[in-house]
Amino acid sequence: MCIRITGTGRSLPENFMTNDDLAEIVDTSDEWIKSRVGIERRYIVKNETTTSMAADAALKAIENAGVSPLDIDLIIVASVTNDKVTPSTACQVQDIIGAENAMAFDLNSACSGFVVALNTAMAYFKAGIYKKALLIGAETLSKIVDWSDRGTCVLFGDGAGAAIAEADESVMTGLVQGTDGIRGKALDMDGMPINNPFVKNEISGSGLFMDGQAVFKFAVKIVPKCVNKLCEDNNIDKSDIKYYVLHQANSRIIQTVAKRLGEPEEKFPVNVHKYGNTSGASVPILLDELNRDGKLVKGDKIILCGFGGGLSWGAALIEW
C-alpha cells in the first residue's frame, strides 16, 4: 500500500552529441561505444542548468497528473550536480513552479537518487506526514566528467525527469535500498577543498573517476538481488512484473541483469542509446517515455531500480 505515480515529465537540453562528435575530442569510436555500452548519443547542455531542466520536467509532470502546484506538500530533487550549494535545487524549483505549500530538499544518492527519493516519499506517506510529492532526478553531468578521460566521458549525459507521487492505500508498494560505502571509491569525485585562513589548497581540475569493471560487477549482482527481495517480501512472482525500469547505465548491464533474473529482455525497456547515463534522471526519464507512449496501464506492477555512486542502490515495487 501507499504510493501511486499519477504524472510524469522529462526535460532534455537542445544540444546533443553523437559518438562521432566525441571521437573528435578523445581517442574513441562509434563502434567501441555502441558495442560496449549501447550508447549512440547523449544530450549536453549549452544554455540549460540542472535547475531549469528540473523545473521544466516538474511542470510537465504536474500537467500530466492534473494537480495544482499548491497541492504539493513535498518536493525532493535527487542530484549530484546541483547549480548552487544553497538554496537547494528543490527550493529553487519550488520558487519557479509556485509550490508554496511544500517542504523541499535535495538528496544525493547518485544514480539511485530518484528511486531513493521515491522511497523517502513512500516512508513519509506511510507515516501520514505528506500526501502529494513532486520527485525529480536532474543532472548536468557534463559539469563533472573528465573530458580528457575516454573511459568515462563517453558514458554520461544531461537531463531531468520528474514524477508526481500521491498517497494511495489501495496499491501494492514495496522498497529495498542500501549502500556499501566501503567500496565507494569505485565511483569517486572530490568536492571543494578546504580553503580558509589556516589551510590553503589548490582547486584540482580532475573530474569523476570510475573503476568501470568494479561498477559493472556491483550492478549485475545488486539489481537481481533487489528484484528477488522485492518479489519475496511482497509475495509476488517475477511473472507478475510488467516492466523493470532500471537505471540506464549501459545496455550490457541491463542485458546481463535480464539473463541473471531469467526474464525476457522485452520486460527491460531501454533508452540509454538516446541519452547516455543521466544518473538520477534516467529512471524518471524512462518512466515518462513509457507513460507518454501509453505502455503503462492501471494495475500494472513495475519495479524501478537505481544503482551507482556511494555505492548505493534503491528499488521500488509500484502499481500503476
299 makes contact with ligand COA (CB under 6 A): no
- Residues 32-51: x where in contact with ligand COA by CB under 6 A, - otherwise, as a string: xx--xx--------------
For residue 250, indicate whether it is catalytic. no
Interface residue with ligand COA, options 54, 99, 104, 215 (CB under 6 A): 215
* Least spacing, CB of residue 305 vs ligand COA, in Å: 12
- Residues 139-158: x where in contact with ligand COA by CB under 6 A, - otherwise, as a string: -----------xx--x----
Please, what is the angle between helix 89-97 and helix 50-65, to 10°? Answer: 50
- Residues 106-145: x where in contact with ligand COA by CB under 6 A, - otherwise, as a string: -----x----------------------------------
Q: How many beta carbons lie within 10 A of that of residue 146, not counting itself?
A: 17
Interface residue with ligand COA, options 52, 94, 142, 250 (CB under 6 A): 250
Q: Which of residues 183-212 bind ligand COA (CB under 6 A)?
A: 210, 212
Stretch that binds ligand COA, among 2-10, 25-33, 41-49, 85-93 (CB under 6 A): 25-33
Stretch that binds ligand COA, among 10-18, 31-39, 167-175, 260-268 (CB under 6 A): 31-39
DSSP calls for 145-204: S-TT-HHHHTTB-EEEEEEEEEEETTS--EEEEEE-GGGGGGEE---PPP-SSS---PPP
For residue 231, indicate whether it is catalytic. no
HSE at residue 57, side-chain half, CA atoms within 13 A, is 37
User: Which cell is 34 given?
Assistant: 555502441
User: Which cell is 35 given?
Assistant: 558495442
HSE at residue 289, side-chain half, CA atoms within 13 A, is 15
249 makes contact with ligand COA (CB under 6 A): yes
Helix (H, G, I), strand (E, B) or coil at 238: helix
Cα distances (angstroms) measured from residue 61 to each of 45, 64, 143, 173: 21, 5, 26, 21
In this complex, which beta carbon is closest to ligand COA, that of residue 184 or of residue 212?
212
The whole-angstrom separation of Cα 71 and Cα 253 is: 39
The whole-angstrom separation of Cα 304 and Cα 285 is: 12
The set of catalytic residues is 111, 247, 277
Q: Which residues bind ligand COA (CB under 6 A)?
A: 28, 32-33, 36-37, 111, 150-151, 154, 210, 212-213, 215-216, 249-250, 252-253, 277, 308
